Amino acid sequence: MKYQLFTYEKTERMARSGISIGTDWFDLGHVASTAGCTSLAAASLDDLVARWASCMPELDTLAADLATKPDRFSSAALDPASLVLRSPFGRPGAIYAAGANYRDHVEAMGRAFNQKLVLDPKKEGVPPWHFLKAGAATLSGHRGEVAYPARTERLDWEAELAVVIGRRAAKVSVSSALDYVAGYMCANDLSARDHLVRDGVDPSSPFRFDWIGHKCFNGSCPLGPVFTPAQFVRSPENLAIKLWVNGELRQDSNTSNHLYGVAEQIAYLSERVDLLPGDVILTGTPAGVGMETGTFLKRGDVTRVWIEALGELETRIV
């Protein structure tokens, strides 16, 4: 029985965990208490992913009960339209993000800037490339509002598949890498393009680039709307991915265009540092970002990221 998990605001200062099956949404703590699953009753999604292997069987059983005995849990039902959703995870570990990892995006950027970019990095022996986004302060949830970052005029969107690690991964093989994935989410890697290069710094300087200013500001990593356990995603390498700005389709691709797949990214990162439960990997963005055409976000704009089987993540820029 497919289920998805989410985090919502019970009050302004208190977050609660939820579970959805199809169009039915429930308070996870209430459902768990009713079913006698005390270990799940007060757990946040951060707590669950920290002990994902032991929690999964309980969640599977709970989801089956919800599907077959809905009346038993009617008092835990929620109206999804009225919920204020937060990022599913409030205390993520490291947030790794892949750059130049969609074939169509690399081709589009090469045409736009007359650059000779590597279209087949594996063949040329070029490894995956990642940067880091900061943690909790960068998060935003579904229908969240993100303040336009200061001193920025070129704010861009990037629809991405987010991968959440569910157990410690140290020097894992590509063939086993997906066994370490707890699940998946939609993400939007918001980017302040005009902060990538530092003004007044010589082009030959190794200190010319500012990846923190470019990628790390409050709300720069919207995640959600829900967390989908990996067992319900047949393959992360064949998912349609789209993004709209104010209802206009800007990105329309498929994760089959990954230059390095999810398993390859996990294996590569785990050679350099152990990946821990709660770590997040943003796996790259397809063609159609604003930088390709010089079109950027303005205050009041609304982006929507949709990924097949994972849901739709909406963000408003204010």
160 and 259 housed in the same domain = yes
The mean pLDDT of the chain is: 95
35 and 125 housed in the same domain = no
Q: Do the beta carbons of residue 303 and residue 318 sit within 8 Å? A: no
Is 114 domain-assigned? yes
Per-residue confidence (pLDDT) for residue 225, from 0 to 100: 98
Mean pLDDT (whole number) for 152-166? 98
Domain ends where: 51, 82, 113? Answer: 82
Per-residue confidence (pLDDT) for residue 238, from 0 to 100: 98
76 and 104 housed in the same domain = no
**CATH number for 226:** 3.90.850.10
Per-residue confidence (pLDDT) for residue 231, from 0 to 100: 98
Is 88 domain-assigned? no
Is 89 domain-assigned? no
128 and 245 housed in the same domain = yes
109 and 163 housed in the same domain = yes
Please give the tally of structural domains in the chain.
Answer: 2
Is 181 domain-assigned? yes
Domain ends where: 53, 82, 111? Answer: 82
| H-assigned helices in 69-192 | 103-113
- For residue 111, pLDDT beyond 80: no
pLDDT in tens, 29-76: 999 999 999 999 999 999 999 999 999 999 999 999 999 998 999 999
What distance, in Å, lies between the first and last C-alpha atoms of the chain?
39
> Higher confidence at residue 123 or residue 14?
14
Task: Give residue for tokens 């991968």.
Answer: 163
- Per the DSSP assignment, residues forming a β-bridge with 78 are 25
Mean pLDDT (whole number) for 238-258? 98
DSSP 273-308: S-B-TT-EEE----S--GGGTT----TT-EEEEEET
Does this model's pTM top 0.85? My answer is yes
Per-residue confidence (pLDDT) for residue 8, from 0 to 100: 98
311 and 185 housed in the same domain = yes
Q: What's the longest Cα–Cα distance across the chain?
A: 67
- For residue 139, pLDDT beyond 90: yes
Is 103 domain-assigned? yes
9 and 127 housed in the same domain = no
Per-residue confidence (pLDDT) for residue 81, from 0 to 100: 94
Per-residue confidence (pLDDT) for residue 154, from 0 to 100: 97
pLDDT in tens, 266-286: 999 999 999 999 999 999 999
Task: Give residue for tokens 């077959």.
Answer: 68
- For residue 113, pLDDT beyond 80: no
pLDDT in tens, 191-234: 999 988 888 889 888 899 888 989 999 999 999 999 999 999 99
pLDDT in tens, 93-105: 999 999 999 998 8
Print the domain residue range for 31. 4-82
Instruction: Report the percentage of the chain scoring pLDDT > 70.
Output: 99
Mean pLDDT (whole number) for 13-24? 94
